[in-house]
Chain A
Amino acid sequence: MKGHWLALLALLLATVVRSATGQDPADAGSLALAEEEAFRAAAATVAPAVVRIEPGVATAAVGAGAEAAPATSFSTGVVVGAEGWIVTTAFAVPDDVAETVVRFPDGSRAVGRVVSRDEARSLVLLRVEALPAGCAPPTEWVRRADLAVGQWTIALGRGWDSATPGVAVGILSALDRSWGRSVQTDASVSPANYGGALVDIRGRMIGILAPLPADTAGMNSGTELYDAGIGFAVPYEDLVRVLPRLQAGETLRPGIIGIGYASRDAVNGPARVAVCRAGSPAAKAGIRAGDRIVSANGRAVTRVADLRHVVAPLYAGDRLELELERGTGDTATERIGASVELVARLPPWRRTVLGIVPTREAPPAAAAGAAEPAAAGIRVGWVWPDGPAAAAGVLPGDVVVAVRPAEAERAGERLALAAPAQLAGFVGGLEPGSSVILELKRDAAPVDVTVVTTVAQAGVPADVPVTESDPAAVRVVRLEAPELPEPVLAVVPDGAATEPLGALVWFDPPRGAVDAEGALRTWRTAAARHRVAVLVPGSSDPQRWGRADIGAVARALDSLRSRRAIDPSRVAVAGSGAGGQFAWLVAERLGPAVRGVALVGASLPRQATIEPAEPGRSRVVLFGGSATEPHLRDADRERLTAAGYPVGTLPGGEGGDAPAENLCAWVEALGVL
């Protein structure tokens, strides 16, 4: 079989040339048949390497999910070494499975033991004791550089129980998909041929078919696309490069740098470092908050996506050569090189603080409209009782002009401050226990104080300063938006549009529409004292909080922001009972915009996903009231603490009522740096 593809190819070529030269414009039929023979010859060339993977140990549970997603079932592997090496995917051999049954083209079986995994590419290397006669690895493969979009691709799998491999034909749809980890084909790729071979029309290996996540399309499991004309294959060249490491039993993991970006846009945002995680590879390489990444491994970088294209294909342990620009505005920028060794995991991040609570900050748009330009530095509103700043003698009314590490040799890392977020980024990159020097202006005189950072505490300090104001100067506002079916009520203190308010969204247990009078009674005093706007949405279904209500809250917050300045660092959601559980889901959806969540008489909802805390993605969690199931709440505290979140107790709320005074004081305290 192997010899005659050459003849076929010549034939094919002759046909194409004839067609192209106009000698025989109508011979599309012969071309189609010649191509058919070429497909089959290509499949036959690599068939001896394609094996069936049978789920030897208990398969993934089927049931409610079986209608929606394909379940673990027969899949495919490719022999990649004559000594019994077989590659398949994590779909066929999930993480908790150590061995599986391999069925060879001759029908015989063997147990394949998991030797190692490539977790960045969903591949698994198996070994069987011996290969049967006639079963052999592919002899030829195509280099990535020689692949071209539009060329024929043939996908081979053995998930179906037949003597010859299953065949699907398509074209190469794209190169460098999955951030450089795969190529894409429109040949039908499904659980039956995951782990199988993608070959060119000459039967040469292009790659291993794999269910890689299409996360930019919001699809994370990799199997959602099985019927969509979109299939991915890990290039064989990439596999060949790491095969010796896999054969040695090394598990390959995605590599992490340990930086957070200034922009929330994970694709188009500028590649400017906002936070550099303490103890991370980036920190060890001397990268700092404020640096701009201009190249990575020789590739020019301007946006976050440029860097991701370089980093995603790398593994933990790989080295990344970065070029950075440091310095802003008129000051001369310097170019710095940084050699970063990527790691698989960062230690859990815990937010570090100084114990300074700045005065309210207007959002950028409102500040721009203000009569006076924002003063340089950050004004201290109050200091956290018994916190490091209090111990160092920082006083309310001080203005923090700049911050720098206490070590004299790191004086060059001095950061001049204009906004609290800058100080948050600087402090967030430090280990707890680090010493920093705050350059203060106190009554116009410069004062330097040394403050030792500590891990952020969750809770409501006893003496949160209040604003003496008239509880009568608080009114219920109906927040309307074109997309809102019902206006959302908010209890808002009167004042200038530019006065920055805190914002709290409170969810009662679901009961449909909200009683405006009752809301005003509950919230007016606390809202006025702590200058907090309290949103009290109703549930669209009187029985339960639902998906539609989440969207309504987001739009109501936008509507509020268009009327009044809202301090971005003082936004929280809270609720009682089912409303408390719903508050957590709202916080998940709204992401970093929500700085705190309080659950009164509730534990986390079952569907809660707790992403590890990261700079810019951490929130304070308080539990209040009496828990109906204390053991669940203890488990929640453990999970949250392990993920790096500050967890504390909210006093009050035993009867399930809103502890209005404590919640509004807490919103003010969320501004702590």
Chain B
Amino acid sequence: MSDTMRARPARARGARLALALALALAGPVSRAATPGETIAGAARGVVKVYGAGGVRGLEAYQTGILVTPAGHVVTVLSTVLDSDTIDCVLDDGRRYPARLVGADPARELAVLAIEGEDLPALPLVADLPRVAPGTRVLALSNLFGVAVGDERVSAQHGVISAVVPLEARRGSYEAPYRGTVYLLDCTTNNPGSPGGALIDFRGRLVGVLGKELRASASGVWLNYALPIDEVAKAYDDIVAGRASAPVAGGGTRFDPALLGVLLVPDLLDRTPPFLEATRAGSAAAAAGLRADDLLVAVNGRTVPSRRAVEEALGALATGDPVRLTVVRGGAIVECDLGPRPAAGEAP
């Protein structure tokens, strides 16, 4: 059962609706796997990972995914792996010592290796298209460590809420990964769940559950997973022994003063980007920007804080046209500032 199911992803690309209709109409002849069958098939490849921890409220356990029958386990890079002995426990109770193959600090992922016979696997299909909001998903993880010994990890269900760049923090630290994540509408990210598998209702591995984080903007806890293409990049680099490939998003900052835009001092964590002044003769002055304008977007991208302004400008290439959106006297005003100078260029 699980073999045919795992073979399906490559064939199903781009034709999900047709498949759904076909499956539903075809009825008993070639019915879709029930959620129970889907979970049973995928959960065989999800392992319980035990390592260091147990002090200062840090857990000594998390979750991993066996992605090859040769024993490669994808999990998250965390303090759990700061141990001489890391164990992986399968859903049939087999326990194997694991070796740390390597890690991708930017994505906070790691690969472990175990040696055993007849290992199940939940394969990484790197070229799976990103799934859209509204897609039903199942999260398989050992959250709160409730599964022990030969018990299967816990299954939760929900939908993909949004596909967005991650802007999050852990305590007061920015999360290193600022690329795209799947936000979920169910409470999946809890102690023990990082490294768990996110599968769709066809049993395909579409993401890996991340570490516990809060949204930078609102402070709410996030439930999210890294999309499988990002996981595959990290996996390929780690197994090949390469430095990790850069993550899209986040990146460098660019000082808006180089355009003549002088913002109010950044006193709060998220000072709203009000203009204090423009430098005479600068692109900003020429574009008609004024003191007390509130900057709301850079080239369409929302900028709630001074930091966001610097990052949005940093994401542009030298020479790209800069368009600032400001609120002035109760109206939206668009200002074109011409090409962005190089970061080191004198104003």
Contact = CB atoms under 8 A, between A and B. Distances in A.
A74 B133 contact: no
Contact of B327 (A29, A101, A192): A101
Interface residues of A, number: 66
B220 interface: yes
B23 A30 contact: yes
B201 interface: yes
B35 A29 contact: yes
Interface string A76-115: 0000000000000000000000010101000101110100
> What are the 6 tightest A-B residue pairs by CB atom distance, in nearest-first order?
A29-B32, A168-B185, A40-B134, A73-B218, A166-B162, A30-B24
B5 to A, nearest CB: 10
18 contacts: A23-B27, A26-B34, A27-B32, A29-B34, A29-B38, A30-B24, A33-B23, A33-B24, A39-B159, A62-B268, A73-B219, A74-B218, A101-B296, A111-B332, A159-B218, A161-B165, A162-B163, A170-B185
Nearest to A43: B134
Residue picked from B36, B132, B185, most chain A C-beta under 10 Å:
B185
A115 to B, nearest CB: 13
A168 B301 CA distance: 24
| Consensus secondary structure, chain B interface | mixed
Interface string B313-344: 00000000000010100111000000000000
A74 B268 contact: no
B185 A109 contact: no
Nearest to A109: B332
A73 to B, nearest CB: 4
Interface residues of B, number: 59
Contacts of A179: none
A191 B220 contact: yes
Given A11-B25, A74-B304, A111-B331, 11 more contacts: A36-B136, A56-B327, A62-B270, A73-B217, A109-B332, A111-B330, A154-B134, A164-B162, A167-B133, A168-B158, A188-B223
A345 interface: no
A54 B302 contact: yes
B31 A24 contact: yes
Contacts of A30: 20, 23-24, 27, 31-32
A200 to B, nearest CB: 15
A28 interface: yes
A72 to B, nearest CB: 8
B134 A36 contact: yes
A11 B215 CA distance: 39
A192 B215 CA distance: 10
Interface string A27-60: 1111111111101100100000000001111110
Interface string A213-247: 00000000000001101000000000000000000
B136 A39 contact: yes
B2 to A, nearest CB: 14
A32 B33 CA distance: 10
Interface of B: 17, 19-21, 23-25, 27-28, 31-38, 132-136, 158-165, 183, 185-187, 201-202, 215, 217-221, 223, 268-270, 272, 294, 296-297, 300-302, 304, 325, 327, 330-332
Residue picked from A67, A161, A168, most chain B C-beta under 10 Å:
A168
A28 B201 CA distance: 11
Interface in A152-173: 154-155, 159-162, 164-170
Contact of A56 (B28, B31, B187, B294): B294
Contact of A167 (B32, B37, B185, B218): B185
A191 B220 CA distance: 8
A107 B300 contact: yes
Residue picked from B134, B136, B163, most chain A C-beta under 10 Å:
B134
A71 interface: yes
Nearest to B135: A36
Contacts of B17: 37
B34 A187 contact: no
B136 A34 contact: no
A190 interface: yes
A60 to B, nearest CB: 10
B180 to A, nearest CB: 10
B227 to A, nearest CB: 13
Nearest to B325: A109
Given A18-B27, A36-B201, A66 B219 contact: yes
Contacts of B294: 56-57
B219 A167 contact: no
Nearest to A223: B220
A626 B17 CA distance: 79
Nearest to B202: A33
A267 to B, nearest CB: 30
Contact of A36 (B20, B25, B304, B325): B20
Contacts of A166: 133, 161-162, 183
A66 B216 CA distance: 10
Residue picked from B37, B132, B164, B202, most chain A C-beta under 10 Å:
B164
A74 B217 contact: yes
A164 B135 CA distance: 13
A162 B302 contact: no
Contacts of A54: 296, 302, 304
Contacts of B186: 188
A15 interface: yes
Given A37-B20, A73-B218, A164-B133, A28 B35 contact: yes
Contacts of B330: 99, 111, 113
Residue picked from B20, B33, B163, B217, most chain A C-beta under 10 Å:
B217
Contact of B21 (A11, A110, A161): A11
Contacts of A101: 296, 327, 332
